[in-house]
C-alpha cells in the first residue's frame, strides 16, 4: 500500500478513466495503412498526444498543415465511433469520490470528443477541463497540466496526475507533478506508482480539503 497526499488531481481521459482503445485502434490503424505505415509500429506511439503531433512523429517530413487537416478528420471519425468505449475498471467509484474535491480533466481530445467519450463511459464531466482547444502544445509538453493546476488554484507540487501514456507521464513530470500510472502502458515510463486500474485507488479527504490516496501498487 502506498499513500499519497495532494490538494488536487489532474486526470487524463483515454486509457486512464475511459477505455477507448478499440476506437483508437480502428481509426489509427486505418490512417497508418492509408499512409503506407506499419500499423503495429504506429500504435506504439499514438496514445497520449494530439493527433497532429502523432502524425508529425510518424511522418516527420510531411507539411504540418496536412497533419492538422487529417487531425480534424480523425477527431470527427473518433467522435462518431463510440463502439467499445467503456469506463476503466474502478473509474465510476473513483469519479464519484472526487465529486466534491478539486480535480480537472486534462486530455488531448477536443471538447466534442471528450464529452462523447465521457458520456459513453457513463462518467461525470469535471467542471474544470483542459482539452485540445485549451493549449498551444500537445503532451508531452506540460502546458495542459500546468493550466489545469492554475485553473484549480493550486501549485504544481500540490497536484497529482493520473496518466496511462508515455507522452502524458512525461508531461506530468515536466510540470513538476507526481504521477500515478494507470494500465499496461504506464509502468515503463517512470510514474511514481503504477496501478492496473482504478480499483486499486481509494480516495479519502482529510476534512480540510486535502486529498489522500490509498494505492495498492502493482509496481
Buried b / exposed e along 125-155 (16+ C-beta atoms within 10 A): ebebbbbbebbeebbbbbbbbbbbbebbebe
Contact 37, 58 (CB under 8 A): yes
Among 148, 153, 113, which Cα is nearest to 130's? 148
Task: Please tell me which residue in 14, 110, 164, 197 is annotated as part of the active site.
Answer: 14
Q: How far apart are CA 47 and CA 92, in angstroms?
A: 22
Alpha helix locations (H) across the chain?
A: 21-34, 39-43, 51-58, 64-79, 91-97, 111-120, 143-152, 166-174
Burial label for 54, CB within 10 Å (0-12, 13-18, 19+), is buried
Torsion of CA 151, 92, 167, 67, to 10 degrees: -90
Active site residue 14: yes
Within a 13 Å sphere around the CA of 55, how many CA atoms are in the beta-carbon half? Answer: 22
Among 38, 69, 73, 39, which Cα is nearest to 56's? 69
Which residues does the annotation mark as catalytic?
A: 12, 14
Amino acid at each position: 500500500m502506498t499513500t499519497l497526499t495532494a490538494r488536487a488531481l489532474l486526470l487524463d481521459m483515454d486509457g486512464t478513466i475511459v477505455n477507448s482503445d478499440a476506437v483508437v485502434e480502428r481509426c489509427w490503424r486505418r490512417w497508418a495503412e492509408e499512409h503506407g505505415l506499419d500499423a503495429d509500429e504506429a500504435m506504439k506511439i499514438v496514445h497520449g498526444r494530439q493527433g497532429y503531433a502523432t502524425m508529425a512523429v510518424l511522418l516527420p517530413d510531411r507539411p504540418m498543415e496536412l497533419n492538422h487537416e487529417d487531425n480534424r478528420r480523425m477527431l470527427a471519425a473518433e467522435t462518431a465511433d463510440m463502439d467499445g468505449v467503456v469506463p476503466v475498471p474502478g473509474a465510476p467509484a473513483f469519479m464519484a469520490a472526487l465529486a466534491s474535491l478539486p480535480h480537472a480533466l486534462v486530455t488531448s481530445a477536443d471538447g466534442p470528443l471528450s464529452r462523447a467519450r465521457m458520456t459513453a463511459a457513463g462518467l461525470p464531466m469535471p467542471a474544470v477541463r483542459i482539452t485540445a482547444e485549451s493549449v498551444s502544445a500537445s503532451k508531452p509538453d506540460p502546458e495542459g497540466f500546468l493550466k489545469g493546476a492554475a485553473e484549480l488554484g493550486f501549485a504544481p507540487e500540490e497536484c497529482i496526475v493520473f496518466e496511462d501514456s508515455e507522452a502524458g507521464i512525461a508531461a506530468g513530470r515536466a510540470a513538476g507533478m507526481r504521477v500515478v500510472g494507470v494500465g499496461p502502458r504506464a509502468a515503463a515510463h517512470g510514474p511514481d506508482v503504477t496501478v492496473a486500474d482504478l480499483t486499486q485507488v481509494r480516495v479519502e479527504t482529510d476534512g480540510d480539503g486535502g486529498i489522500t490516496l490509498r494505492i495498492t501498487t502493482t509496481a
